[in-house]
Structure formats: structure tokens, C-alpha cells
């Protein structure tokens, strides 16, 4: 009977010794969309580049998980995973030359675009050497424009990558399951769709692990009072694919 009481006491104390009974985590991840360039098959021939996008694809990468502060726990959402906030990097392509537009043969078009890239590189050298007409103006502005022009044209060979950054809010209810097993499933993450529900096996598990340090202390100040476990510290660690995404120790 005493063992049962001690176990229940430890579970109750353990469940309360966290920043809040409901933990909220900010899950940050990236949506990486790659688009193949229309001249990708000529990248090595005209630019000497082998590392190019060969197929259109979209993948998701989990970047970080952070525990939110207690002040953020006041208004609990109905859905544990909230609508994300997105930032997308976009590239505006500049018009290509008339020769390239009129080229019916793809190889001819690739050659024409490659020549424009080489002319841009020559112009950059001219700016740096002070020989160009606009070298007296703001060099950094000119160089930035030339870099952008080359990047836009080169994307027709190497492809384009768009990165969309997402923030998801995930709630975790502290319960006896984690107390007993020391590890619980926080969510699942799929490289094809991002965060998914815990029962969606298309995603890899993201585990939350809690480790506690205890010591036996008298239950009261009375003489010969029974000893009960008292938590001195607690540690929260989150794992994903063998990688530690979050690790924090809390002192009592």
C-alpha cells in the first residue's frame, strides 16, 4: 500500500514540475520547392555546372522546436496545430535577349542565354576595374544588379529553389503516460507534407522525453516522518530522427 502511495505521489509531483501543465511548442520548418530550368540539359555544356535541379520536387525540413514561455499559455487554441505564418523567397526573372526568344532550337537558345551570362560577367569585371561608364556611380548597387541578372539567367540552366518558412504551434498535455514511460509522442513530421497528426504513419515520430532527478525527504517536520520522493530537477528533451531538437533543464 505504501508503495502505491509513493508512486502516486511521485506521479503527481512529476506532472506538476514543468513550466506549465500544458506545454506549447513552436515547430519551425521549411518547405523547399525546386523547379527544373528549361535549359537544364545544357548546363554542363555551356556553364560547366553539373549540380542542377533534374526534377520538380517539394520537400519539408524540420529546422527547430522551441518551448514557448508561460505568458503564451493564456489563450489556448482549440486546435493544437495552428495556422502557419509563411515567408516565401521569390525570384523575378528578367527578360532574356531577342536572339534567345527567337531561337526555335533549344540548343541555340541555351547558347544565346549563356553568351548573355558571359557578357554580364565581363561587365562585372569592368565595374570592379573602374573601366565601365557607370563605375563612378554606386558600385555596390551596380554589382547587386549584375549579380541578380546572372542569377536569373543561370536559373534557366540550374533551376530555381523557393524556400517557404512555416511556424506551427503544437500543444502537449502533460500526463501520466510520459511520467511512466519517460518518453511520449509529441507529433509526426513528414518530408512530403510537413507536420502531421500523431496517428499518421506517413510522418516520422517526434518524441518528447522527460527525465527527473529526485531525492527522499521527510513528509513533514514531525520526528520519524516517512520519506517521500521530492523532485529536485527536470529535463525536457525532444528527438527527431536521432537528432536532438530541444533540450532544457529546469531546476526546482
Residue 209 — φ and ψ, nearest 5°? -120, 130
E strand spans, 75-226: 87-88, 160-173, 183-190, 194-196, 204-218
Could you state, in order of their start, the residue ranges of all structural domains in the chain? 1-18+174-252
Instruction: Please give the pLDDT value at position 216.
Output: 81
Residue 79: per-residue pLDDT:
38
- The chain-wide mean pLDDT, for the chain, equals 77
Which pLDDT tens digit goes with each residue over 146-160?
Answer: 999 999 999 999 999
Beta carbons of 76 and 27 less than 8 angstroms apart = no
Give dist(CA 32, CA 161) in Å, integer: 7
In sign, the C-alpha dihedral spanning 47, 61, 86, 28 is negative
- Residue 248, phi then psi, degrees to nearest 5: -145, 135
CA distance from start to end of the chain: 28
Q: What is the pLDDT of residue 156?
A: 94
Q: How far is it, in rounded angstroms, from Cα 156 to Cα 81?
A: 38
Amino acid at each position: 500500500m505504501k508503495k502505491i502511495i509513493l508512486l502516486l505521489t511521485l506521479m503527481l509531483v512529476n506532472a506538476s514540475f514543468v513550466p506549465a501543465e500544458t506545454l506549447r511548442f513552436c515547430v519551425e520548418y521549411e518547405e523547399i520547392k525546386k523547379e527544373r530550368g528549361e535549359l537544364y540539359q545544357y548546363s554542363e555544356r555551356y556553364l560547366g555546372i553539373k549540380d542542377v535541379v533534374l526534377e520538380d520536387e517539394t520537400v519539408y525540413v524540420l529546422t527547430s522546436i522551441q518551448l514557448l514561455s508561460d505568458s503564451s499559455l493564456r489563450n489556448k487554441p482549440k486546435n493544437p496545430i495552428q495556422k502557419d505564418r509563411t515567408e516565401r523567397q521569390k525570384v523575378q526573372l528578367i527578360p532574356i535577349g531577342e536572339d534567345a526568344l527567337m531561337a526555335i532550337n533549344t540548343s541555340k537558345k541555351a547558347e544565346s542565354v549563356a553568351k548573355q551570362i558571359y557578357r554580364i560577367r565581363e561587365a562585372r569585371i569592368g565595374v570592379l576595374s573602374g573601366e565601365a561608364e557607370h563605375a563612378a556611380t554606386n558600385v555596390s548597387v551596380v554589382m547587386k544588379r549584375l549579380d541578380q541578372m546572372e542569377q536569373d539567367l543561370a536559373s534557366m540552366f540550374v533551376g530555381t529553389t523557393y524556400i517557404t518558412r512555416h511556424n506551427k504551434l503544437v500543444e502537449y498535455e502533460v500526463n501520466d503516460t510520459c511520467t511512466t514511460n519517460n518518453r511520449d509522442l509529441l507529433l509526426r513530421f513528414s518530408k512530403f507534407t510537413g507536420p502531421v497528426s500523431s496517428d499518421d504513419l506517413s510522418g516520422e515520430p517526434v518524441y518528447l522525453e522527460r527525465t527527473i532527478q529526485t531525492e527522499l525527504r521527510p513528509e513533514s517536520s514531525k520526528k520519524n516522518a516517512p520519506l517521500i520522493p521530492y523532485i529536485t530537477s527536470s529535463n525536457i528533451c525532444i528527438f527527431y530522427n536521432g537528432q536532438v531538437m530541444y533540450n532544457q533543464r529546469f531546476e526546482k
